[in-house]
């Protein structure tokens, strides 16, 4: 297995994040149990600082920069949630931050990135390459880069979600049979899988992706990093990458079960269920694992299934339109 990150790194990240990241709730609700015929535990990272799990990895990496690196500032690239995590971590640590973001990112994500003190640099996600733009800008400024998923400290930081989930489940005297995780570049999935498998080797871990952006699911089947079609579109703005990360896929191919794929219609239905039944505001990408549960993508009857709700940063107009059906 890759030496990119291990359980000791995840535990180290948890110590570093104490008092920084919120320990988010692990929710069990009778409506959800009834809907799937089993026990469901939802890890609510939509209630995290900045509205998603991304502060965990960003702070874990940025807090380890040398004084010289911190002084030079950082440049990152993100569809919006990592941007907010980077900007918030920068505000806490006194580090200047700039983030390359798609111009069609949710307005709330761009606005909150700027509110946290980050510089938002917009580009066209369908004609530009955010990583290339960001690395060129970093070289021009002499700044450090903070990748959104393919870095050991990012992976370890995101893995603290899984560490908390398994501990909280144990406190409820429950051991999940399976855990579903929204997946983009694979940092959250890889980090959590490390922690989950350490606590319970027999627990299955499944990445969940939107249709058209199922690169991890296809890569797990083929054994090599697959690429999504450039024409793919999805409502799940947070889960759109071209291919899995190098480091993340090296970990995930050893740790994950089959990948699951959900449609935009299934994601919309999950967002409605979360709001109407659970009183939760969830963004499309954050609802992917819940959508897989509710649409029967795997067997849940009589099982204990955990799912991560990875974010809640959604524009009010889109949220209202989805709730209206």
In a domain, 1, yes or no: no
Residue pLDDT, tens place only, 143-191: 999 999 999 999 999 999 999 999 999 999 999 999 999 999 999 999 9
User: CA–CA separation, 160 vs 171, rounded Å?
Assistant: 16
Q: Which domain-ending residue is among 118, 146, 174?
A: 146
Strand extents, DSSP E, 211-322: 260-262, 304-309
* Nearest in space to 181 (alpha carbons), one of 211, 161, 155: 161
Quote the number of domains for the chain: 2
- Alpha-carbon distance values, 308 to 25, 46, 99, 158, 312 (Å): 11, 9, 25, 12, 12
Whether 3 shows a pLDDT value over 80: the answer reads no
The greatest distance separating any two alpha carbons of the chain, rounded to the nearest whole angstrom, comes to 56
Residue pLDDT, tens place only, 39-48: 999 999 999 9
Residues 40, 58 within the same domain = no
pTM: predicted TM-score of the whole model, two decimal places: 0.96
User: CA–CA separation, 254 vs 220, rounded Å?
Assistant: 9
Residue pLDDT, tens place only, 79-108: 899 999 999 999 999 999 999 999 999 999
Residues 86, 20 within the same domain = no
Helix runs in 94-204, H state only? 107-115, 130-141, 152-171, 187-199
User: CA–CA separation, 56 vs 45, rounded Å?
Assistant: 10
Residues 131, 192 within the same domain = no
Residues 278, 163 within the same domain = yes
Burial readout 231-248 (b: 16 or more C-beta within 10 A, e: otherwise): eeebbbbbbbbbbbbebb
Residues 181, 287 within the same domain = yes
Residues 62, 48 within the same domain = no
Please compute the mean of the pLDDT values over residues 117-144 and round it to a whole number.
Answer: 93
Residue pLDDT, tens place only, 193-223: 999 999 999 999 999 999 999 999 999 999 9
In a domain, 2, yes or no: no
243 phi/psi in degrees, rounded to 5:
-160, 155
The residue behind tokens 């089959």 is 258
Q: Which domain-ending residue is among 83, 111, 146?
A: 146
pLDDT at 125: 84
What residues are paired with 260 via a beta bridge? 208
pLDDT at 126: 85
Which residues are known catalytic residues?
54, 310
**Residue 162 belongs to domain with CATH number:** 3.40.50.1100
Record the tokens describing residue 219, joined without a space. Answer: 């890569």
What SS3 class is residue 51? Answer: helix
Residues 81, 210 within the same domain = no
Domain encompassing residue 136 = 54-146
Q: Which domain-ending residue is among 114, 146, 178?
A: 146
* Nearest in space to 55 (alpha carbons), one of 308, 314, 310: 310
In a domain, 223, yes or no: yes
Burial readout 162-175 (b: 16 or more C-beta within 10 A, e: otherwise): bbbbbebbeeeebe
pLDDT at 2: 42
Residue pLDDT, tens place only, 59-75: 999 999 999 999 999 99
Confidence of residue 1 (pLDDT cuts 50, 70, 90): very low
Burial of 11 (0-12, 13-18, 19+ CB in 10 A): middle
Q: What is the mean pLDDT of the chain?
A: 96
Q: Which residues lie closer than 8 Å to 218 by C-beta, 6 or more apart?
A: 226, 259
Record the tokens describing residue 25, joined without a space. Answer: 């709730």
Confidence of residue 325 (pLDDT cuts 50, 70, 90): confident
User: CA–CA separation, 259 vs 261, rounded Å?
Assistant: 7
Residues 45, 59 within the same domain = no
């Amino acid at each position: 297995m890759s030496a990119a990150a291990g359980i000791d790194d995840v535990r180290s990240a948890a110590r570093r994040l104490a008092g920084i990241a919120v320990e988010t709730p692990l929710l069990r609700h009778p409506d959800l149990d009834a809907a799937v015929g089993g026990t469901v535990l939802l890890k609510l990272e939509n209630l995290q600082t900045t509205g998603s799990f991304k502060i965990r990895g960003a702070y874990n990496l940025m807090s380890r920069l040398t004084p010289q690196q911190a002084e030079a500032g950082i440049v990152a690239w993100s569809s919006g949630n990592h941007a907010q995590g980077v900007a918030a971590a920068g505000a806490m640590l006194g580090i200047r931050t700039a983030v390359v973001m798609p111009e069609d990112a949710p307005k709330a994500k761009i606005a909150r990135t700027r509110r946290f003190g980050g510089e938002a640099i917009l580009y066209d996600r369908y004609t530009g390459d955010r990583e290339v733009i960001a690395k060129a800008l970093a070289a021009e400024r002499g700044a450090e880069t903070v990748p959104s998923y393919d870095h050991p400290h990012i992976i370890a930081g995101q893995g603290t979600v899984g560490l908390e989930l398994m501990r909280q489940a144990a406190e409820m005297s429950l051991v999940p049979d399976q855990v579903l995780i929204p997946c983009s570049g694979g940092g959250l999935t890889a980090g959590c899988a490390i922690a989950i498998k350490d606590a319970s080797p027999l627990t299955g871990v499944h990445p969940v992706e939107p249709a058209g952006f199922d690169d991890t699911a296809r890569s797990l089947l083929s054994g090599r990093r697959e690429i999504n079609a450039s024409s793919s579109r999805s409502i799940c703005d947070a889960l759109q990458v071209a291919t899995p990360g190098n480091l993340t896929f090296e970990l995930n191919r050893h740790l994950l079960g089959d990948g699951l794929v959900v449609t935009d219609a299934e994601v919309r239905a999950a967002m409605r269920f979360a709001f109407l039944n659970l009183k939760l505001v969830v963004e499309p990408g954050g609802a992917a694992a819940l959508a897989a549960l509710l649409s029967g993508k795997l067997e849940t009857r009589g099982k204990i299934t955990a799912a991560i709700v990875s974010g809640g940063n959604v524009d009010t107009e889109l949220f209202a339109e989805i709730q209206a059906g």
